[in-house]
Structure 1
Amino acid sequence: MAHGSDVVGERTVFGRKVHFYSSTHERSHLWGCYGMSPFPAGMPCYGLIWEGWCGDFYHIDEYLQVMHLGRVMANPGHKYAFLYALADPRAGPTRLVDAGKLMALCAYGQTGSPDRDEQALIDFLLPSDLYPLSKEDLRESPYYNIGVTHQKFTNLARRFSDAIFDSFHTFAKKHLTKGYPLLISGGCGLNCEWNRRWLETNLFSDVFVPPCANDTGSAIGTAVDAMRHFTGNAKIKWNVYSGQPFTFDEIDRTGLEVHPLDYGQVASVLLDDKIIGWVQGNCEIGPR
Structure 2
Amino acid sequence: MNILGFICFGEHDSAACLVRDGEIIAATEEERYTRIKYDSSFPVHSIEFCLRKGGLKISDIDLVCYSWLKSDYQLHKKLIHMLKYFPQSLKLLKYRDAVSRKNDAENVFRDTFGYAGRFQHMNHHLCHAANVFYLSPFEQGSILSLDGMGDWASCWMGTGEKNQITPSKEVFWPHSLGNYYSALTQYLGFKMHSDEYKVMGLSAYGKDAYKKEFEDVLKIRPGGGYKLNLSYFNFHVGGKQKFSDKFADTFGAPATPGEKLSDRHADIACSAQKRLEEVVLNTADHLYENGGSENLMITGGVGLNCVANGRLLREGKFKNIFVGPSCHDSGTAVGAALLGYFSSGNKARGKIDASGYWGESFDDQRVETALNAKGLKPTRVDDIARTCAELLKDGKIIAWFQGRSEFGPRALGNRSFLANPTIKEMKEIINVKIKKREEFRPFAPSILREHMEAYFGEDYASPYMTLVFNIKDEKREELPAVVHVDGTCRVQSVSKEDNARYYELIEHFYKLTGTPVILNTSFNIQEPIVNTPEEAVACFLKTDVDYLAIHDYLVARNK
The answer, yes or no, to whether TM exceeds 0.5 is yes
Could you say which structure has the greater relative contact order, defined with CA pairs below 8 angstroms and 6 or more residues apart? Answer: 1
Pick from 160, 165, 169 the counterpart of residue 60 of structure 1: 160
In the alignment, is residue 51 of structure 1 matched against residue 173 of structure 2? no
Partner of residue 390, structure 2: 265
Query: Contact conserved, 1:47 with 1:182, CA < 8 A, in 2?
Result: yes
SS of the aligned residue for 1:145 comes to: coil
Which range moved further: 13-22 or 179-188? 13-22
1:120–1:87 Cα change, 3 Å: farther
Aligned to 2:280: 168
The 1:169–1:64 alpha-carbon spacing in structure 2 relative to 1, beyond 3 Å, is same
Q: Report the Cα distance in structure 2 between the residues aligned to 1:254 and 1:263, rounded to whole angstroms.
A: 18
Identity of aligned residues (%): 21
- 2:318 counterpart residue number: 204
Find out whether 1:26 has 2:125 as its counterpart.
Answer: yes
SS of equivalent residue, structure 1 residue 108: coil
1:276 aligned residue (398, 410, 420): 398
Aligned residues: 267
Distance 2:209 2:250 in 1: 19
C-alpha contact 1:50 1:189 (8 A) present in aligned 2: yes
2:196 is equivalent to residue 96 of structure 1 = no
Higher mean C-alpha deviation, range 221-230 or range 132-141:
132-141
Please identify, of 133-142 and 163-172, the stretch whose mean Cα deviation from structure 2 is larger: 133-142
C-alpha displacement at 1:160, in angstroms? 0.7
1:191 deviation in Å? 1.4
Cα displacement (A) at 1:26: 0.8
Task: Provide the C-alpha distance between the structure 2 equivalents of 1:82 and 1:276, rounded to a whole number of angstroms.
Answer: 36
Residue 164 of structure 2 aligns with an amino acid whose one-letter code is L
SS in 2 for 1:183: strand
8 Å Cα contact 1:33/1:185 also seen in 2: yes
Checking the alignment, whether the CA contact within 8 Å between 1:59 and 1:69 is kept in structure 2 is no
What SS does the corresponding residue of 1:85 show, helix, strand or coil?
A: helix
* Change in CA separation of 1:263 and 1:217 when aligned onto 2, cut-off 3 Å: same
Give the superposition deviation at 1:255. 11
CA distance 1:209–1:139, change in 2 (3 Å):
closer
Tell me the TM-score normalized by structure 1.
0.77
Equivalents in 2 of 1:283, 1:202: separation in Å?
A: 33
Point out the more displaced range, 214-223 or 112-121: 112-121
Which residue pairs with 2:254 in the alignment?
145
d(CA) in 1 for partners of 2:378, 2:327: 35
* Contact persistence 1:87–1:144 (CA under 8 A): no
Q: Aligned partners of 1:142 and 1:19: how far apart in 2?
A: 52
The within-5 A match list for 1:1-288 is 18-40=117-139, 43=140, 45-53=141-149, 54-61=154-161, 64-71=164-171, 74-88=175-189, 95-110=192-207, 112=208, 114=210, 126-128=228-230, 130-131=235-236, 132=238, 134=241, 135=243, 137=245, 138-146=247-255, 147=259, 149-177=261-289, 178-233=292-347, 237-238=352-353, 239-246=355-362, 248=367, 249-250=370-371, 252=374, 260-261=384-385, 262-270=387-395, 274-288=396-410
Instruction: Give, as a single letter, the amino acid of the residue that structure 2 aligns with 1:140.
Output: D
Q: Comparing both structures, which one devotes a greater share of its residues to strand?
A: 2
Give the secondary structure class of the aligned counterpart of 1:176: helix
Structure 1 residue 206: deviation in Å? 1.1
Asked whether the 8 Å contact 1:148–1:154 carries over to 2, the reply is no
Give the deviation of 1:121 after TM superposition. Answer: 5.3
Deviates more, 1:135-144 or 1:28-37: 135-144
TM-score, with length taken from structure 2: 0.42
Distance in 2 between the 1:39 and 1:116 partners? 38
Query: Would the alpha carbon gap of residues 117 and 22 (structure 1) be closer, same or farther in structure 2, given more than 3 Å must change?
Result: closer
CA RMSD between the two structures: 3.4
CA contact (8 A) 1:35 1:235 kept: no
- Conservation of the 8 A alpha-carbon contact between 1:242 and 1:283: yes
Segments of structure 1 that go 5 or more residues without pairing to the other structure are: 6-10
